[in-house]
Structure 1
Amino acid sequence: MRTCRASAAGKLTVVLATLVLVVSGCGGGPSPRAWAASVCEALTPWRAEINKLTSSTHQQMTAQTTPAQAKENLVRLFAGAEDASEDARRRISDAGVPETDHGDEISRGFRTSLEKIRDAYGRARDTIDRLGTAQPTAFYDGVQAAVDTLNKEYDASALDTSRLNSKELKQAFDEVPECR
């Protein structure tokens, strides 16, 4: 069970790195610097909340807990991560579309990636919430399956940066203080 949470935390790091490094956009909105600052302002508290929730649940799960306690802790973790992901998605949506080539596609990519992450957490929460706790082995097998699915969904939610290449946004993400 301990390796599941470590795996999920590792996947989170990959998703965050992808989100922060992705850059490119299309005109009519905030400057690349303003947009990058808004994105980083949205992702910084999200990352902190995900890390806090993951750490807290890991500590609780490595302690002697019953399946019922573990279920409560995991449901709370995934609900908190789902809420934090939606808040970050909403804040990025509120940031608008950066004034750069492919800005709409970039902005949509960030939002879509966070939607997929949010939904993955919601499905993990619902799956674990439906698990019975009377048989510990069956419960923990179900948790393992839910975390495995969450990891796969994280992989699938990664932002595709292969077609996005804006020097302006790359520079903005490198330079604005909010992204450091």
Structure 2
Amino acid sequence: MRVCRATAGRLAAMLAAVVLIAGCGGGPSPGAWATSVCSALTPWRAEIRKLTSSTDQQMTAQTSPAQAKENLVRLFDGAARASETARRRVEQAGVPDAEQGAEVSARIRAALAQMRDAYAKARDSIDSLSTSQSTAFYDGVRDAVQTLNQEYEASALDASNLNSKELTRAFTEVPECR
């Protein structure tokens, strides 16, 4: 019984040491991390641009409120899913081995989560609108899009203010980030 407890104690101490060692540095280099992050954000930006263009077209198209509602709900759902995919990919990139690496990683993930939530809120707002009166429906859509734009702007991450010289330099030097 004592031998098992002693072995279990040593095993626990070894595992704790491995966890501590793994937690000290060892993350991706600033350049590798910036490459991963920009590789995650490039398709997301393209998808958001495409969805924004489609949304603009829906706002000016001669469709019924019911068709516009269906299309806008689908578009904003796609934007929310694209934002979550980008957030997960940034999370999978890990924490960069750089000054303020954990903070910068968390800020980027939080910004993407806020954008995801803003798109989901717009989707849900439009989905809850009645299509029986065209003017009221489109007024509700405009309100939802205006709120989305405000929330989107508030969640935008300024890459020039990362609190890490290493990561700021990496984002300007890595080809995937240009």
TM-score (normalised: structure 1): 0.80
Percent identity, aligned pairs only? 72
**Aligned mates of 2:129, 2:156 — CA distance in 1:** 28
| Higher gyration radius (CA) | 2
Contact kept in structure 1, 2:99 and 2:166, CA below 8 Å: no
Contact kept in structure 2, 1:106 and 1:164, CA below 8 Å: yes
Tell me the residue number matched to 2:33. 35
Contact kept in structure 2, 1:82 and 1:118, CA below 8 Å: yes
The structural deviation recorded for 1:161 is 6.6
Tell me the residue number matched to 2:20. none
> What do you get for the CA RMSD once the two structures are aligned?
1.8
Tell me the residue number matched to 2:99. 101
What is the correspondence of 1:24-103 to structure 2 with a 5 Å cutoff? Answer: 27-103=25-101
Amino acid paired to 2:84: E
**Aligned mates of 2:98, 2:85 — CA distance in 1:** 25
Q: Identify which of structures 1 and 2 has the higher relative contact order when contacts are C-alpha pairs closer than 8 Å and 6+ apart.
A: 1
What is the correspondence of 1:1-180 to structure 2 with a 5 Å cutoff? Answer: 27-159=25-157, 164-180=162-178
The structural deviation recorded for 1:112 is 0.4
Contact kept in structure 2, 1:78 and 1:121, CA below 8 Å: yes
SS at structure 2 position matched to 1:131: coil
Amino acid paired to 2:41: L
TM-score (normalised: structure 2): 0.81
Gaps of 5+ in 1: 1-25
**Aligned mates of 1:152, 1:108 — CA distance in 2:** 22
Residue deviations 1:29-68 (CA, integer Å, cap 9, x gap): 1000000000100000000011111212322432211111
The structural deviation recorded for 1:160 is 6.5
Contact kept in structure 1, 2:80 and 2:115, CA below 8 Å: yes
The structural deviation recorded for 1:139 is 0.4
